[in-house]
Amino acid sequence: MKVNQIKDLVSKMTLDEKIGQVIQLATPFFKGASDEGQITGPMKEMHIPDHMLQHIGSVLGASGAKETRSIQEQYLQDSRLRIPLLIMSDIIHGYKTIFPVPLAIGSSWDLELAEKSATIAAKEAAVSGVHVTFAPMVDLVRDPRWGRVMESTGEDSYLNSAFAKAQVRGFQGSDLKHDHESVASCVKHFAGYGAAEGGRDYNTVNMSERELRESYLPAFKAALEAGSKLVMTAFNTVDGIPASANKLLMRDLLREEWNFDGVVISDWGAVKELIPHGVASDEKEAAMKAITAGVDIEMMTGCYANHLQQLIETNAMDVELLNEAVIRILQLKDELGLFDDPYRGADEKREAEVVMCSAHRQAARDIAAKSCVLLKNEQDVLPLATTQKMALLGPFANSNDILGPWSWLGDKNEAIPLDVGMRNQLPASQLYVANGCGVNKHCEQDLSKAIELAKQSDVVVLALGESSEMSGEAGSRTNIQLPQAQLDLVAAIVKLGKPTVAVLFNGRPLDLHGVVDQVDAVLEAWYPGTEGGTAIADILFGNVNPSGKLTMSFPYNVGQIPVYYNSYNTGRPQGAINAQERYVSQYLDCPNEALFPFGYGLSYTYFKYSDLELSSDLMTPDKPITVKVKVTNAGDVAGQEVVQLYIRDLVGEVVRPLKELKGFQKISLQPGEERVVMFTLTEEQLRYHHADLSYHSDEGRFDLYVGANSQDVMTISFNLHKTKGE
Ligand code: BGC
């Protein structure tokens, strides 16, 4: 439809019909839902007037072609103007075929695989009738106490931006209107949610606008450049103003500066939360503040439903604010092709063919293996020889709680636990399995059994971790060690002196005391998704060489948090020369650096870096420099390496990070093979936000680093020279 046709449609709508469009309610509010529209408990307390229910413009959490078709059908029967309902759901790391959590996918540093996982998730969701996914989540994260770090791709804005684009491309494809196996994407949570104080969910965020723009906003901008159709607001405050009432963020930045013309939706209940935040005295004021600041759709509270009409009729609010929001929402419905086909992709037959098909499971297996990060491998205890007798112990030995948070449509019974994955690749008589303890509880009898089995084995694999409720939304923790029962299991097993490997299932960087210092090898498998057990077995037995690298630093302990690679130098930096001095910026009881830094991850082979050179040691705005480095596979198995390029701007107008990622390439090398890897670095990549928020580069010297992670690098320097006036 043309804009004029949409405006014409809006002009025919009654006030109630328009208000209905800016409200989103969950599935139970709708006729035709599988629970037959039973509204109970807290939902009833929203007091949405009955006559409004038939006008509600979008539904949250409906799924399955049968249900979505039936909801749409019944809805349209009651709809005077036959405006289709928009169906939105959280399809975060898969629909039913569950991929590893986003923090794990980030660790693959593989944008193609990330895009593919989003394409598959979109396809399964779209044939089940979903139109919009609440993804990607692109919040920058530096605090592993926050349970939602598992939803992000980590602590670096450059990498997050690259993954944001890849995911949006994957979800949306290239033609939302006609390709009905794609879904529209809603980038979230705008903005700053990843910086909740103390890692406590929903907590205050306090940072300068400069820092917000420099670190926290680029991934949103990238997602919008890739075409993301919606933006979701965050729960937190930003400089004292809740994000869902934040005019500076939504009107001034998003709409005016970035020209975003898509739909802004609040997070769940965030409009009404303006009351406890203390910026609105009641629902009416909350509605007024949110719509004025730019929230088009209110999710799951009744402020718009119960108060917009009165606000407009008393002239407290300009009806144009509502009209604009409705136009954007109808435009989105049109862009999805819903006016032509309100059922869009929803097709039970296609659903049966596509959802969880073998190609999707295979992709989940590949991505899960590529997401594993090998943190330690002393004496090359990994890969395991399939001729060895193995004891697989620990609470995750046979657990199917490996899908991770935000896999509400995933079926745990379809997940492959580690024991099944290993058994498929080993004679059954060689694998002994026991738990030894629960995730959070001791079990003396089981511990004795585990010890017995370990004694009879050549090697022990300990499958340890956090249950999925221990992270995700509202999953903040102040202690990020493994629970004591599991640490006790590790201690009892290592006493036996057998080669011991720990495989970790979790959604955040952990404090690995009591594990990493005890065992010979550690494989971080995250929440690996549906094919987790198979993928991890692929790594343990060497069918796949691990190539994942961390995108979020692992601290020594909680006291060090936040610890991230791109921090500032301070006026009293710690270094080799002042190692004995007291008055330097340091801890008395712990190193400053992370235990495992950003970009870190081992392989079964090893890579040698040499011959780092620049095309010139002088860069100008119209003369980028080319960086070359030789990378050699110096081991005896084929492997993949993520070659990382960082810079440091030595003198800026404001202080600059010690290192900033500016490029990376994932390459595959056969044993003995060498490759010259090339990067181009431009003046544009050296720009940053100055004190007055202007975005440009400064002349002067830059250090450039290339290496296997943010700490182990080769260094070279160049100068940026700009002619006057630039
Ligand atoms: C979460 C969002 C999610 C929404 C809808 C909220 O609690 O913060 O990330 O998209 O619920 O389910």
Spatial contact of 63 and 129, defined as CB atoms under 8 Å apart? yes
Closest protein CA for atom 4 of ligand 1? 268
**Best CA proximity match to 515, nearest among 563, 551, 470, 462:** 462
Task: Give the Cα separation of 246 and 331 in Å (integer).
Answer: 24
Q: How far apart, in whole angstroms, are the C-alpha atoms of residue 590 and residue 572?
A: 17
What SS3 class is residue 241?
strand
Closest CA to ligand 1's atom 12: 90
CB contact at 8 A, 267 and 295: no
Distance CA 196, CA 199 (A): 5
Given a contact cutoff of 8 angstroms between Cβ atoms, the answer to whether 18 and 323 are in contact is yes
Q: Are 290 and 247 in contact (CB under 8 A)?
A: no
Residues framing ligand 1 (Cβ under 6 A): 90, 134, 188, 267-268, 473
pLDDT, position 37: 63
Q: Is residue 327 a contact partner of residue 6, using CB atoms and an 8 Å limit?
A: yes
How close is the Cα of 427 to the center of ligand 1, in Å? 44
- Angle, in degrees to the nearest 10, between helices 218-225 and 157-172: 30
Residue 193 DSSP symbol: G
Tokens 């413009």, residue located: 57
**Atom 5 in ligand 1: which residue has the minimum CA distance?**
268
Distances (CA, A) of 315 to 90, 306, 318, 320, 326: 37, 16, 6, 11, 19
Cα 267 to ligand 1 centroid, rounded to whole Å: 6
> Residue whose CA is closest, atom 10 of ligand 1?
134
pLDDT number for residue 63: 92
Neighbours of 127 (CB within 10 A): 24
CA-closest residue to ligand 1 atom 2: 267
Identity of residue 455: K
Q: Which residues of 512-536 are buried (b: 16+ CB within 10 A; e: fewer)?
A: bebbbebbbbbbbbbbbbbbbbbbb
- Rounded to the nearest angstrom, the distance between the alpha carbon of 268 and the centre of ligand 1 is 6
pLDDT at residue 726 in the model: 43
Rounded to whole angstroms, what are the CA distances from 256 to 248, 284, 326, 571, 689? 10, 26, 19, 38, 19
What residues have CB less than 8 Å from 632, skipping those under 6 apart? 607, 608, 610, 669, 672, 673, 674, 675
Residues in Cβ contact with 486 at an 8 Å cutoff, skipping those fewer than 6 apart: 394, 395, 437, 439, 464, 465
Amino acid at 243: A
Instruction: Provide the pairing of β-strand 132-133 with 184-190.
Output: parallel
If one residue of 58, 203, 230, 473 were mutated to test the ligand 1 pocket, choosing by the most ligand atoms within 8 A of its CB, it would be 473
Catalytic annotation, pick one of 143, 156, 201, 267: 267
Q: How far does residue 604's CA lie from ligand 1's centre (Å)?
A: 39
**Is 201 marked active-site?**
no
What residues contact residue 541 under an 8 Å CB cut-off, 6+ apart?
A: 383, 384, 386, 425, 426
Alpha helix positions (H), 372-439: 418-423
Atom of ligand 1 nearest to the CA of 137: 9
CB 100 within 8 A of CB 93: yes
Q: What angle do CA 107, 101, 261 make, to 5 degrees?
A: 95
Task: Name the residue of 24, 60, 90 to mutate for ligand 1: max ligand atoms within 8 A of Cβ.
Answer: 90
CA 128: distance to chain centroid?
Answer: 23
Q: What CA–CA distance (Å, rounded) separates 698 from 614?
A: 20
CA pseudo-torsion sign 693, 645, 105, 178: positive
Q: What is the pLDDT of residue 724?
A: 57
Residue ranges in the chain modelled with pLDDT below 70:
36-43, 724-726
- Per the structure block, which two tokens stand in for 559? 């006291």
Q: Which residues contact 335 (CB under 8 A, 6 or more apart)?
A: 176, 177, 184, 229
Would residue 81 be called left, alpha or beta, if left means φ above 0 and alpha means ψ between -120 and 50 degrees?
alpha
Give the SS3 label for residue 681. strand
Q: Look up the pTM and report it.
A: 0.98
Nearest CA to ligand 1 atom 6: 268
How far is 175 from 189, CA to CA, in rounded Å?
A: 25
Please tell me what DSSP assigns to residue 481. Answer: S
**145's tokens:** 């106490």
- H helix or E strand, kind and range, residue 452: helix 444-455
Q: Nearest C-alpha to atom 8 of ligand 1 is from which residue?
A: 267
Residue with CA at minimum distance from ligand 1 atom 11: 268
Rg of the chain, C-alpha, whole Å: 27
H or E element, residue 502: strand 500-505
Closest CA to 98 of 531, 468, 401: 531
Query: What spacing in Å lies between the alpha carbon of 574 and ligand 1's midpoint?
Result: 41
pLDDT score, position 44 = 76
Query: CA 298 to CA 273: how far, in whole Å?
Result: 11
Q: What is the DSSP letter of 468?
A: G
Please report the pLDDT score of residue 123 as a whole number. Answer: 98
Determine the distance separating the centroid of ligand 1 and the alpha carbon of 706, expressed in angstroms. Answer: 38
Residues 6+ apart with CB under 8 A from 679: 626, 627, 645, 662, 663, 665, 706
DSSP at 410: -
Q: Which residue has the tokens 């939105």?
A: 88
Q: Which of 225, 217, 297 is nearest to 259 (CA)?
A: 225
Measured in Å, residue 405 CA sits from the centre of ligand 1 at 12
The answer to whether 400 and 409 have CB atoms below 8 angstroms apart is no
Place of tokens 């890579």: 607
Return the residue matching tokens 């960086």.
627
Ligand 1 atom with the shortest distance to the CA of 135: 10
Beta strand ranges found along 206-347 (DSSP E): 230-233, 237-238, 241-242, 263-265, 298-299
Q: Give the single-character DSSP code of 373.
A: E
3-state secondary structure at position 33: coil
Bridge partners of 377? 521
Helix and strand numbers, DSSP H then E, in the chain: 21, 26
Based on the number of CB atoms within 10 Å of its own CB, is 357 exposed (0-12), middle (13-18) or buried (19 or more)? middle
CA 234 to ligand 1 center in whole angstroms: 9
- Say how far apart CA 657 and CA 650 lie, in whole Å: 9
